[in-house]
């Protein structure tokens, strides 16, 4: 038995150390563009192309960073026409380390006037799906990430990406993904013109949210774990709640949900801006529930966080003008028409 356990341990340790070494690999911008251009995250390719080819437009600009709510909610061409030179660098499924990544790259090449972050991104979020593409494991550590489940997952994903990167470098006939017209567009506002149906709208406004709410940190109310575990039996759900409580007891909540790290990333971004004397603000972009009258649906993007302190919040008090259904793409996103109205409304607050 001892021999077996020893061999098993040696192979496991060698594997993990090798994984960690492979996760130290930086990828070229070409590869990042190649990996994202044909996907939901093609905005990342646009951001990088802009940084490499037209970084001059960033000088003196107001840069918007955040999730798809920013990407589709802020029409930077309208802002620019109104005299506020703006660049929308929002990327779907934002997590703060992505904002910090683009901020670092922006600040390395230019001096923007202001950086505006999205207020109220749901705090339980782990790392962004694209973080392994943009960070190495030690880079991530250097911005405050701690060793937790998300980090392990990150390292594992880097292993695959690194191999894929080597294959990419070896392949002399890289498939061309011609998206030049998208990459050449001058503004970063990307969304669709889908309009939600009245039936869906009514359904959302009467939705009561998740029913399981007995966890100490109340994550079920956010719907994240609820959605993931909804198909499990009640017994399995309960076991998973106990398991989380046990892990939380020993390792702390940050071991499982990366919440504190996410706050650290944004705090670091804010500090960096302040150190360079660049104005930094947060902007609240409403979601559909903010313009309805439903109190049963528990999801709210507006949550106080420690990084709110000491920075200005841009927030519209009156949101009734966003009530029409044809302003919404889905329950979390304004569509093209809605974002135009919202952007016009915030012009005075940005000046």
Partner 1 sequence: MIFNSFDFAVFIPIVFFLYWYVTNTNLKAQNLLIVLASYVFYGWWDYRFLSLIAFSSIVDYSIGRTMFSTEKKSTRKLLLITSLVVNLGLLGFFKYYNFFVDNFESAFSFLGYKFEGYTLKIILPVGISFYTFQTLSYTIDVYRKKLEPTKDFVAFLAFVSFFPQLVAGPIERATNLLPQFFKKRSFSYESAVLGTRQILWGLFKKVVIADQCAIYVNSIFDNSADHGGVVLLLGAILFAFQIYGDFSGYSDIAIGVARLFGFKLMQNFAFPYFSRDIAEFWRRWHISLSTWFRDYLYIPLGGSRVGPYKKIRNTFIIFLVSGFWHGANWTFIIWGGLNALYFLPLLLSQNNRKNLDTVAENSVLPNVREIGQMLLTFGLTIIAWIFFRAENLSHAFSYLKNIFLKSNTLEITIPFTLYVFIFAFLLIEWIGRRDQFAIEHLDIKIGRPFRWAFYIILCFCIIGFVDNQQDFIYFQF
Give the binding site for partner 1 (CB under 8 A).
1, 3-4, 7-8, 10-11, 14-15, 18-19, 22, 153, 156-157, 159-161, 163-164, 167, 171, 175, 233, 235-236, 239
Give the SS3 label for residue 87: strand
CB of 331 to partner 1, least distance (A): 26
CB of 239 to partner 1, least distance (A): 7
Taking the least distance from each CB to partner 1, the nearer of 10 and 184 is: 10
CB of 164 to partner 1, least distance (A): 7
The secondary structure of 104-127 as a DSSP string is HHHHHH---SEEEEETT--TT--S
CB of 227 to partner 1, least distance (A): 16
Give the SS3 label for residue 348: helix
CB of 149 to partner 1, least distance (A): 8
Q: In what order do the strands lie in the sheet with 312-314?
A: 86-88, 62-65, 114-118, 279-283, 312-314
CB of 250 to partner 1, least distance (A): 14
Give the SS3 label for residue 321: helix
Taking the least distance from each CB to partner 1, the nearer of 147 and 239 is: 239
- 63 backbone dihedrals φ, ψ, rounded to 5°: -100, 130
Taking the least distance from each CB to partner 1, the nearer of 164 and 279 is: 164
Taking the least distance from each CB to partner 1, the nearer of 184 and 239 is: 239
Taking the least distance from each CB to partner 1, the nearer of 171 and 317 is: 171
Taking the least distance from each CB to partner 1, the nearer of 18 and 142 is: 18
CB of 174 to partner 1, least distance (A): 10
Count CB neighbours of 227 within 10 A: 11
According to DSSP, residue 211 is labeled S
CB of 19 to partner 1, least distance (A): 6
Distance CA 186, CA 201 (A): 33
CB of 40 to partner 1, least distance (A): 15
Taking the least distance from each CB to partner 1, the nearer of 4 and 250 is: 4
C-beta of residue 223 within 8 angstroms of C-beta of residue 209: yes
For residue 255, what are the CA distances in angstroms to 126, 151, 258, 268? 10, 9, 6, 20
Taking the least distance from each CB to partner 1, the nearer of 158 and 189 is: 158
The secondary structure of 20-62 as a DSSP string is HHHTT----HHHHHHHHTTSTTHHHHHHHHHHHH-GGGGTTPE
The secondary structure of 59-73 as a DSSP string is TTPEEEESSHHHHHH
Kindly give the residue spans of alpha helices, DSSP state H, lying in the chain: 2-22, 29-36, 42-53, 68-73, 76-81, 96-109, 131-134, 137-142, 149-170, 180-184, 198-206, 224-229, 234-251, 254-257, 259-275, 336-350
Taking the least distance from each CB to partner 1, the nearer of 7 and 326 is: 7
């Amino acid at each position: 038995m001892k021999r077996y356990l020893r061999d098993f341990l040696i192979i496991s340790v060698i594997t993990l150390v090798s994984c960690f070494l492979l996760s130290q690999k930086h990828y070229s911008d070409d590869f990042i563009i190649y990996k994202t251009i044909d996907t939901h995250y093609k905005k990342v390719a646009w951001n990088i192309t802009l940084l490499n080819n037209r970084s001059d437009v960033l000088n003196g600009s107001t840069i918007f960073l955040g999730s798809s709510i920013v990407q589709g909610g802020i029409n930077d061409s309208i802002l620019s026409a109104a005299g506020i030179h703006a660049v929308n660098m929002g990327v779907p499924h934002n997590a703060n380390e992505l904002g910090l990544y683009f901020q670092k790259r922006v600040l390395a090449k230019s001096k923007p006037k202001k950086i505006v972050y999205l207020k109220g991104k749901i705090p339980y979020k782990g790392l962004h799906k694209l973080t392994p593409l943009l960070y190495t494991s030690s880079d991530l550590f250097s911005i405050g990430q701690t060793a937790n489940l998300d980090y392990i997952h990150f390292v594992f994903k880097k292993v695959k990406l690194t191999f894929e990167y080597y294959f990419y470098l070896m392949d002399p006939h890289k498939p061309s993904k011609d998206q030049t017209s998208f990459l050449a567009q001058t503004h970063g506002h990307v969304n669709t013109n889908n309009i939600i149906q009245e039936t869906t709208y009514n359904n959302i406004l009467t939705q009561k949210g998740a029913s399981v709410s007995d966890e100490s940190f109340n994550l079920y109310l956010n719907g994240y774990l609820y959605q993931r575990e909804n198909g499990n039996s009640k017994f399995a759900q309960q076991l998973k709640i106990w398991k989380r409580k046990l892990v939380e007891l020993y390792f702390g909540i940050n071991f499982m949900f990366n919440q504190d790290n996410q706050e650290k990333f944004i705090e670091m971004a804010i500090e960096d801006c302040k150190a360079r004397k660049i104005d930094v603000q947060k902007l609240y972009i409403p979601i559909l529930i903010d313009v309805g009258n439903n109190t049963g649906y528990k999801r709210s993007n507006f949550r106080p966080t420690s990084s709110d302190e000491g920075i200005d919040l841009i927030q519209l008090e009156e949101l009734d003008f966003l009530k029409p259904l044809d302003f919404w793409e889905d329950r979390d996103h304004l569509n093209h028409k809605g974002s135009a109205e919202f952007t016009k409304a915030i012009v005075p607050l940005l000046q």
